[in-house]
Amino acid sequence: MRANWILALIGYVAASAAPAIAQGNAAPEIRPAVFEDLLRCRSISDETQRLACYDAKTAAMDEAEKKDELVLADTASMKEAKRGLFGFSIPKLKIFGNDKQEQEKFELVAKIDTAFQTGHGQWTIILDNGARWMQIDSQTMVRSPAKGMDIKIREAAMGSYFANIAGQRAIRMRRVN
């Protein structure tokens, strides 16, 4: 079991949060029973019984994780998942940490895999990680985007993003997949 298992992501949170999100409520602050059972082992005073409890409950957690009923992740894994979702509008779920944590502003730095213009002269850019971004302003660039060029994308206002391609002036974009 990982050293950071206490920072576990609870797989069922996403499923149980869906009805709450649909109703406009925040995700519930409930931990899974298999985790609560493990924590109750601490209250057993007899060392032998407490150890037996821990052995049984960690085995139950391991089994739940193997059956995809419980998802474990550390902070680094959650940050990586957030980076992969960069540019998408997602609901605020506890699976990405609690509200007390500082909300990080991510900046994506990648390479362009493919770039092409639409009939309106706006660019569609596919990054080396497969993310597709579309230009939503009419800004022109001195150098056209091409495969292998660096692109830096950061948050802008009103759900859009600024992209600087090969150090040029930023264009406004949104993620489309």
Q: Mark 42-64 as b/e (b = at least 16 C-beta within 10 Å).
A: eeeeeeeeeeebeeebeebbeeb
Q: Mark 92-113 as b/e (b = at least 16 C-beta within 10 Å).
A: ebbbbbeeeeeeeeeebebebe
The pTM score is 0.48
At 13 the pLDDT is 37
Query: What's the start-to-end Cα distance of the chain, in Å?
Result: 34
At 83 the pLDDT is 66
DSSP, res 168: P
Q: Is the dihedral of CA 17, 84, 135, 163 positive or negative?
A: positive
pLDDT tens track for 158-167 = 778 999 999 9
What angle, rounded to 10 degrees, do the helices at 33-40 and 47-66 form?
Answer: 160
What one-letter code names the amino acid at 87?
Answer: G
User: What does the alpha-carbon distance between residue 29 and residue 172 come to, in Å, rounded to a whole number?
Assistant: 37
At 1 the pLDDT is 41
At 68 the pLDDT is 83
Q: Is the dihedral of CA 32, 33, 37, 43 positive or negative?
A: positive
pLDDT tens track for 36-57 = 889 999 999 999 999 999 999 9
pLDDT tens for the chain, residues 1 to 177: 433 333 333 333 333 444 444 444 544 557 788 888 899 999 999 999 999 999 999 999 888 888 888 877 777 777 776 666 666 655 554 554 554 444 455 788 899 999 999 888 899 999 998 899 999 999 999 999 999 999 999 988 777 899 999 999 999 998 888
Structure tokens at 95: 């699976």
In 3D space, the residue among 108, 153, 148 whose CA is nearest the CA of residue 128 turns out to be 148
At 3 the pLDDT is 32
